[in-house]
Amino acid sequence: MKRRALLALGLGGFTAAVGRRYWPQAPASNYLANTAAGNDALINFMAAGDVGTGERAQHAVAQAMIQHQRVTPSPLVLLTGDNIYENGEIEKVGRVFEQPYAELLRQNTKFYAVLGNHDVRTNHGEDQLNYPGYNMAGRYYTFTQQAVQFFALDTTQALDSDDKSPWRTQLAWFETALRRSQAPWKIVFAHHPVYSSGQHGSQQPLIDDLSPLFAEHGVQLYINGHDHNYERTEPIDGTTYITSGNGAKLRSVGRSDWTAAASSQLGFTAFSVYADRIEVNAIDTNNAAYDTVSIAMTGAQGAFAPGARSLSLA
């Protein structure tokens, strides 16, 4: 499957000097105003990726997350990798993590991180694994909150290493954990995209290895970073794939046949989990929701490719 050739664009100052691309062209809503009455979700959480710059753009997104937290309390945040630029140096953690998210940390919001390709450049990421603020129980791990079981994967083992044996071991662990899970909602997060129209694009090894497991065990949602944009797919064999890599840097994003929405603007993604659905809101630095969708518990939302276990890049 061909994807649009993309031009990587840098971030200049507080906002990006890049035209916003968003499909479909729907008006943004004031998310804070619309949710001021709160909600009765089982749990709310946020996701942000590729955040670790310590620069003004990261602080702008962090402030939007803080505003969101005041209206919709969210006890946890998923960090989808590249937590510390450029090389995962743990001595920068105060500037790129503790300072931008200081108010959230004071409120005992727990951050759960995964390793990105920049994070493993120093000491193979071990320093971040040992940092208590990232709450990583290992290179891959799982935890449960309310009706949701979260699975954190280290996709650098699949894509950024010549030795694939650790990835095979991780996949065996992941399949066992999925098989044992009793949670009605299963959410996986990792750094690299499975399906993406961004600069790095879809990753065939992850399509081959992960999407069949998602389909077999009913994983409803996969969240990643790596591409510095937002993108949401149509459900593919029951799984919605969301790229949330726009937490501090931006690049342009194209569109694929399975793209439901895509945007090149700074922001984070907010999730509210109910018994029968997950409400997803992509939120910018003005606290406007520029993409909103409800993911149903049942298979009623359908699959993009009926009768196929996964899509191929071929």
How are beta strands 148-152 and 141-145 bridged, if at all? antiparallel
Across the beta sheet with 22-23, what order do the strands follow? 22-23, 259-263, 230-233, 240-244, 221-224, 185-189, 148-152, 141-145
pLDDT in tens, 134-143: 999 999 999 9
Instruction: Reply yes or no on whether the pLDDT at 25 is more than 50.
Output: no
Instruction: Reply yes or no on whether the pLDDT at 165 is more than 60.
Output: yes
Mean pLDDT of the chain: 88
How are beta strands 185-189 and 148-152 bridged, if at all? parallel
Tokens matching residue 30: 């004031």
Q: What percent of the chain shows pLDDT beyond 90? A: 81
Question: How many degrees, rounded to 5, is the angle at CA 129 between CA 126 and CA 135?
Answer: 175
pLDDT in tens, 243-296: 999 999 999 999 999 999 999 999 999 999 999 999 999 999 999 999 999 999
Nearest residue to 114 (alpha-carbon basis) of 60, 10, 187: 187
Average pLDDT on 155-166 reads 95
Radius of gyration of the chain (CA): 18
Domain edges within the chain:
30-298
pLDDT at 29: 59
Average pLDDT on 191-210 reads 98
Model confidence, pTM:
0.87
Instruction: Reply yes or no on whether the pLDDT at 314 is more than 80.
Output: no
pLDDT at 33: 57
Instruction: Reply yes or no on whether the pLDDT at 303 is more than 60.
Output: no
Least confident range of 21-25, 55-59, 147-151, 171-175 = 21-25
pLDDT at 39: 74
Instruction: Reply yes or no on whether the pLDDT at 172 is more than 80.
Output: yes
Nearest residue to 239 (alpha-carbon basis) of 168, 182, 311, 180: 311
Q: Name the CATH code of domain 30-298 (choices 3.40.50.300, 3.40.190.10, 3.60.21.10, 3.40.50.150).
A: 3.60.21.10
pLDDT at 35: 58
Instruction: Reply yes or no on whether the pLDDT at 176 is more than 80.
Output: yes
Choose between 26 and 73: higher pLDDT.
73
